[in-house]
Amino acid sequence: MKIRPSRRLFAIAGAVVVIAAAGIAINARTGAVPNVTTTDVTRGDFVDYIQIRGDIRPAKSIQLAAPLDAGGELQIVKLVKNGAAVKKGEIVVEFDATQLKQRLMERQSELKTAEGEIEQSLAQTKITAEQRQTEILKAMYDVERAKLDLGKREIVSRLEYENAKLSLGDAEQRLKEIEAKSLSTAAGIEAELTGRRRRRDKAQADVDRTVRSIEALRLEAPADGTVNILTNPRSGGPFGGGGVEFREGDRAWAGAGILELPDLSSIHLEARLDESDRGRLKVGQAATVKIEAVPGKEFAAKVDLISVLARVDFSSGWPPVRNFDLGLVLQDHDPKIRPGMTATARIAADRLPNVTLVPAEAIFQKDGRPVVYRLNGSKFDEQSIEIVRRGREQAAISTGVEPGDKLAVRRPEPELIRRKG
């Protein structure tokens, strides 16, 4: 009774050993694929892309600023929302005009006073002219009467004749004096009237200028467009930075830019190009642009600017890097695009047709030479390769692998690498 269970256990253990041996034999024959991520070797055109990040900017924009002749600081009482679509002539910014309206009332009062003085001078001139004319007529009458008395020489005594001559001389002299005084008075009145007219003209100019200043506090959109509110530098604190957009209630100084109306008919991507990539690009090269705020869409673009001089960037540490300004113009348009959006551009810097391609992540360095790990059955063969051209994403290979080979994208463990020989 005790022997039978032992025989049964031995029989079961033997069967397990046989099954395991069979499994090992099957695995040995079929070559189980190791748990290592692989990628395929392909054939096609080698394209080396340069990828950069930048900001969307319009080719040109119209900036609206606080008026220069308003005097002092201005408070914003009305401001359209950022991103709002506006029509030409629509009020987009309005500043507080309380002080200017008070000044306008004062200058209108000065103008009214000046006009009243002119009316008073004109009335007085008319009265004075009439008085002088009366005096001249009377003096002329006296002259004519004296001449008549002088004509009675035959019938009057010599003494009376001499008195008549004296009277005529006095009358003629008085007429000359009255005429001269009339001319002098008229010149004085005209000079006074001219001065008052100048004061009136100055008061009118002050009124007109104040009216224009009040009108300048209402900024109209010069064209149809989408509003882009600018940053208020004073909102970032005493040490700068962190500035926010202008808002209603903020104070602006004369000439401060409040908003801009970008011309979205021509959109540019402005970025910085690394010094090492400067010689690999040229104006006119094609590119594709992805805008983060417009997902799922690529925009065709073209390089239209590469600066001649480098710009030193100290923000990335020491030693500072040297970057070049790079500009691309988008050839496609979308109403969702707004200035300031972040975008990524891919530019084909190099191209080789019909070559063997290996992803860059599958190439490793060993003893100073490039190698790949090619899947062969259940293990990987370490294979040296010859690189014709290498880019950030892939490399063109002349020898070592063939299209269809599967390569490890990370270095396999030593036990998964087949030893040569």
Map residue 104 onto helix, strand or coil: helix
Tokens of 189: 């009145």
List the one residue out of 349, 350, 340, 346 whose CA is nearest residue 270: 340
List the one residue out of 170, 159, 136, 163 whose CA is nearest residue 149: 163
Give the pLDDT confidence of 49-92 residue by residue, as tens digits. 888 999 988 878 888 999 887 667 889 999 999 888 889 999 99
List the one residue out of 377, 363, 384, 387 whose CA is nearest residue 418: 377
Look at residue 8 and tell me whether its pLDDT is greater than 80. Answer: no
CB atoms inside a 10 Å sphere around CB 291: 22
Give the pLDDT confidence of 89-124 residue by residue, as tens digits. 999 999 999 988 999 999 999 999 988 988 888 888
- Average pLDDT, integer, range 29-35: 62
How far, in Å, are 228, 251, 278, 287 from residue 298 at the CA level?
A: 24, 41, 24, 10
Please, what is the end-to-end C-alpha distance for the chain in angstroms?
Answer: 57
How many Cα neighbours within 13 Å face the side chain of 141? 6
Give the pLDDT confidence of 159-187 residue by residue, as tens digits. 766 676 677 777 778 878 877 877 777 77
Let me know: does 45 contact 350? Beta carbons within 8 Å: no
Sign of the Cα torsion 100, 105, 107, 111 reads: positive
Give the pLDDT confidence of 337-394 residue by residue, as tens digits. 888 889 999 998 888 999 999 999 999 999 899 999 999 988 999 999 999 988 888 8
pLDDT at res. 157:
65
pLDDT at res. 365:
93
pLDDT at res. 85:
86
